[in-house]
């Protein structure tokens, strides 16, 4: 697949030290691209070989870091923007706005200033949570009304609107927004999925709301495939839902885990109020609980049709690999049998 940007200057990646970001960077380097990464903190050593780090905070507190961000953007033709505050249980609304909304605008302004001539393309990573958590009886497309219910999802929708507004104001700035489902795979095992695995193994798991609730999943490598396809697409200024394309039910997923451990699948259901009380006892945070209580069927028909995106990884296979890694950690940590 030929990706726009190889002949159009360096590529900049934010959120490059995340599991998905590191995979994307590696894929880009393998494709012969010059790759730069905006990073904060000490995790820059997690970047794949061949990626040039630039150390700056996109919120630019007190104006600091502005020169570094502009330098990182110098000559850049394509930006993959993934960096964001993610967890509602960790961040305040003001922090979400500062990081996800203001940070996005700061990045776009710096990139436009650093490239006064020529086109600029952004692949922006958003989330299916902009539709809300519970939409029973619906098949959600990109035309479905958004109903964000958390500070995180509100901030992601606002960031989408910032990206869109710049595209309307600058003909040379185009974007593709990808609303991703919940990521799983190597790098996303801990801690959330491991908590669910442990509770199912120990028999303490309950269905929340209904066993027929639909949960959205996306393997990290399929997410990278979608990002590459988005950057290569001829169409611009479009929004796409990206999941594994399967309407998983909570019951089917829990039974898959129970079968691996040779234990009984959950046979009881609790309401959301009771679940919130139990979650605190089990160490389940609010974000994890909202995912388990969610009910969304997401259509990826537009991504299939316009991007040529087709998810290749299946939870029946890749989920087993996650369970094996969990079992190995448990065995190594306790010496106990996991079967």
C-alpha 27/C-alpha 32 separation (Å) is 9
Summarize the confidence of residues 277-300 as an average pLDDT. 91
Answer whether residue 335 shows pLDDT above 50.
no
pLDDT of residue 264: 95
Determine the pLDDT at residue 6: 53
Q: Which residue has the tokens 């999943």?
A: 217
CATH topology for 11-182+218-242 is Rossmann fold (3.40.50)
State the pLDDT at residue 314: 97
Give me the numbers of helices (H) and strands (E) for the chain, helices first please.
Answer: 12, 13
Higher pLDDT, 236 or 82: 82
Mean of the per-residue pLDDT values of the chain: 92
d(CA 205, CA 267): 9
**pLDDT tens for residues 129-175?**
999 999 999 999 999 999 999 999 999 999 999 999 999 999 999 99
- Of 65, 72, 76, give the one whose Cα is nearest residue 8: 76
Phi/psi of residue 174, nearest 5 degrees:
-125, 160
- Position 185 pLDDT exceeds 60: yes
| pLDDT score of 333 | 61
Domain ranges (residues) in the chain: 11-182+218-242, 189-214+247-296+313-333
pLDDT in tens, 35-49: 999 998 767 788 999
Query: Given this model, what pLDDT does residue 117 score?
Result: 85
18 within 8 A of 38, measured Cβ to Cβ: no
End-to-end CA distance of the chain: 43
Give the other-Cβ count within 10 Å of 228's Cβ.
Answer: 20
Note the pLDDT tens digit of each residue in 33-89.
999 999 987 677 889 999 999 999 999 988 888 999 999 999 999 999 999 999 999
CB 78 within 8 A of CB 37: no
Predicted local distance difference test score (pLDDT) of residue 7: 58
């Amino acid at each position: 697949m030929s990706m726009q940007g190889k002949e159009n200057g360096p590529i900049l990646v934010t959120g490059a030290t995340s599991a998905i970001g590191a995979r994307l960077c590696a894929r880009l380097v393998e494709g012969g691209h010059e790759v730069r990464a905006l990073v904060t903190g000490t995790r820059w050593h997690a970047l794949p070989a061949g990626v040039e780090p630039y150390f700056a905070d996109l919120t630019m507190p007190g104006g600091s870091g502005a020169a570094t961000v502009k330098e990182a953007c110098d000559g850049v033709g394509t930006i993959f923007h993934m960096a964001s505050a993610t967890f509602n249980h960790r961040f305040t609304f003001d922090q979400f706005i500062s990081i996800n909304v203001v940070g996005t605008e700061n990045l776009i302004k710096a990139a436009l200033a650093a490239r006064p001539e020529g086109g600029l393309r952004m692949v922006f990573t958003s989330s299916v949570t902009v539709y809300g958590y519970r939409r029973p009886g619906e098949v959600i497309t990109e035309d479905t009304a958004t109903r964000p219910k958390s500070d995180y999802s509100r901030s992601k929708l606002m960031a989408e609107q910032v990206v869109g507004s710049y595209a309307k104001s600058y003909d040379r700035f185009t974007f593709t927004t990808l609303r991703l489902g919940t990521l799983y795979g190597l790098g996303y095992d801990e801690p959330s999925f491991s908590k669910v695995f442990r509770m199912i193994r120990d028999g303490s798991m309950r269905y929340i709301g209904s066993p027929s609730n639909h949960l959205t999943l996306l393997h990290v490598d399929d997410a990278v495939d979608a990002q590459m396809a988005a950057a290569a697409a001829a169409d611009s200024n479009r929004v796409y839902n990206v999941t594994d394309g399967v309407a998983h039910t909570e019951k089917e997923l829990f039974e898959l885990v129970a079968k691996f451990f040779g234990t009984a699948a959950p046979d009881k259901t609790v309401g959301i109020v009771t679940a919130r009380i139990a979650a605190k006892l089990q160490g389940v945070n609010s974000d994890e609980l909202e995912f388990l209580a969610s009910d969304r069927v997401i259509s990826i028909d537009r991504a299939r049709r316009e991007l040529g995106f087709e998810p290749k990884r299946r939870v029946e296979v890749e989920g087993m690999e996650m369970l094996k890694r969990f079992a190995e950690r448990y065995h190594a940590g306790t010496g106990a049998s996991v079967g």
